[in-house]
């Protein structure tokens, strides 16, 4: 009986998810303990319970049902993104939520799931090859449609997640090295341009060499290289067109000390909190940065500070190891599953989690700009927690049917 259960139920993945959810719940409780925000903790517990129910249901669904609903659920979620622009509630300058009584629902969180499923369904078709421009363009359109609607809200952080999910799927789907480099090059040039002319020139030279070595056609390589240079040069013009708070976030990323009491405040306090935890931390509910509310609303984007300060290096390492464990389980499943749809879905979900973790923890450590990306299973947010637990439920479902073609 036990061996049969192990064959169809991935205990390791379930244990990792529940471990992260538990750390998240106690971290939210600590972050709100002395902030007169107990209702936030109560809502997080509610969503954790709802997520557990959804996780169980999705785990037990027929495998083919996930494929059957891939396209319909995708178009329904796109319709929801359109609706939220008209009927949604604006919070912190972003129209991303529907009000449902005492709760708010963010459609873009669930659209991550449907986009992964739709892409997996499309890429798993026998007549689709990412070596063909038409197929590559359709795959890109599946991602860019929700990204465009999310940018209209605007929600730059969530839009980044979709791009972080798309790149691993391109690699897994067999896109050429030149195609992958063509996507990465303008992004690298744009980031390098933020650090000055020298960094930009070094990046452009390195990218030029790589494009030459991986080129499939000299004219195509020249077009990509020219585009890369133009993107890098246009960074300053794009920066000037950003809203003041967006400019502050970028400036703070480059130098948090430039405005220590303003835009750089959260990052500096976050680094103080994590660094002051030492090896074993200050003890649960005894973190000074946490309990004295030095970081505003730290139960959201800067939740990583709580285990870092109160449980020290041990707490931070536990979060990182569990997070890495989840990614390893997802990629391992993608490598062993017989069904192409399941393989693509596993990589897509792993890409979503990886991008969230990289950006959020990078924000907390001052290595990434603050773009409002939550840490999976830890940050407060009902829609995000429910969507993340649903995605793990999909991984569990795929594991149970990993030997099916």
Torsion over CA: 7, 348, 45, 315 (sign): positive
The answer to whether residue 1 scores a pLDDT higher than 60 is no
Backbone angles phi and psi of 214, in degrees to 5: -110, 5
Tens-digit pLDDT profile for residues 317-336 = 999 999 999 999 999 999 99
Interval 148-184: pLDDT, tens: 999 888 788 888 898 889 999 999 998 988 888 888 8
pLDDT for 188 equals 87
Compare 89 and 335 and report the one with higher pLDDT.
335
Q: What is the pLDDT of residues 13-40, one digit of tens each?
A: 999 999 999 999 999 999 888 766 678 8
Q: Mean pLDDT, to the nearest integer, of 216-240? A: 83
Instruction: Round to whole Å and give the CA distance between 346 and 168.
Output: 11
Q: How many CA atoms, within 13 angstroms, populate the side-chain half-sphere of residue 116?
A: 31
Token digits for 327? 């990614």
Residue 255's pLDDT is what?
64
Q: Which of 4-13, 303-312, 321-330 has the lowest mean pLDDT?
A: 4-13
Least trusted range by pLDDT, from 56-70, 249-263, 342-356: 249-263
- Distance, in Å, from the CA atom of 13 to the CA atom of 322, rounded to the nearest integer, reads 10
Comparing C-alpha atoms, which of 140, 129, 119, 45 is closest to residue 77? 119
- Predicted TM-score (pTM) of the model is 0.91
- Please report which confidence band the pLDDT of residue 247 belongs to, taking 50, 70 and 90 as the band edges: confident
Percent above pLDDT 70 for the chain: 93
* pLDDT tier at 83, thresholds 50, 70, 90: very high
Looking at residues 79-91, what average pLDDT do you find? 87
Quick: pLDDT tens for 357-389: 999 999 888 888 778 899 999 999 889 999 999
- Which helix (H) or strand (E) element contains residue 97? strand 94-100
């Amino acid at each position: 009986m036990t061996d049969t259960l192990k064959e169809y139920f991935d205990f390791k993945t379930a244990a990792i998810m529940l471990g992260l959810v538990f750390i998240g719940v106690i971290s939210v409780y600590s972050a709100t303990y002395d902030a007169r925000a107990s209702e936030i903790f109560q809502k997080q517990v509610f969503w954790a319970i709802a997520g557990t129910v959804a996780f169980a249901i999705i785990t037990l669904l027929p495998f083919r049902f996930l494929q059957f609903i891939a396209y319909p659920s995708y178009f329904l979620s796109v319709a929801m993104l359109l609706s939220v622009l008209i009927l949604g509630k604006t919070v912190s300058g972003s129209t991303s939520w529907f009000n449902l009584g005492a709760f708010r629902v963010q459609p873009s969180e669930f659209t991550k799931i449907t986009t992964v499923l739709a892409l997996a369904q499309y890429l798993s078709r026998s007549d689709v090859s990412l070596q063909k421009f038409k197929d590559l363009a359709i795959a890109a359109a599946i991602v860019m449609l929700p990204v465009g609607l999310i940018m209209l809200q605007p929600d730059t952080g969530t839009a980044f997640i979709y791009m972080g999910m798309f790149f691993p799927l391109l690699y897994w789907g067999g896109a050429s090295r030149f195609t992958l480099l063509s996507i990465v090059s303008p992004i690298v040039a744009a980031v390098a341009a933020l650090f000055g002319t020298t960094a930009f020139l070094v990046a452009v030279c390195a990218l030029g060499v790589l494009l030459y070595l991986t080129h499939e056609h000299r004219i195509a390589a020249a077009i990509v290289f020219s585009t890369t240079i133009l993107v890098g040069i246009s960074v300053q013009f794009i920066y000037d067109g950003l809203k003041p708070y967006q400019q502050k976030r970028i400036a703070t990323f480059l130098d948090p000390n430039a405005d220590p009491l303003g835009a750089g405040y959260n990052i500096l306090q976050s680094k103080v909190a994590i660094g002051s935890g030492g090896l074993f931390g200050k003890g649960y509910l005894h973190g000074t940065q946490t309990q004295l509310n030095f970081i505003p609303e730290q139960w959201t984007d800067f939740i990583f500070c709580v285990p870092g300060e109160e449980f020290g290096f041990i707490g931070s390492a536990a979060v990182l190891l569990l997070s890495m464990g989840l990614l390893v389980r997802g990629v391992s499943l993608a490598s062993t599953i017989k069904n192409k749809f399941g393989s693509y879905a596993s990589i897509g979900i792993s890409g979503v989690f990886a991008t969230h973790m990289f950006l959020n923890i990078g924000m907390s450590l001052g290595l990434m700009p603050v773009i409002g990306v939550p840490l999976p299973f830890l940050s407060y947010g009902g829609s995000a927690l429910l969507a993340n637990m649903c995605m793990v439920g999909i991984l569990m479902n795929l594991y149970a049917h990993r030997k099916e073609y």
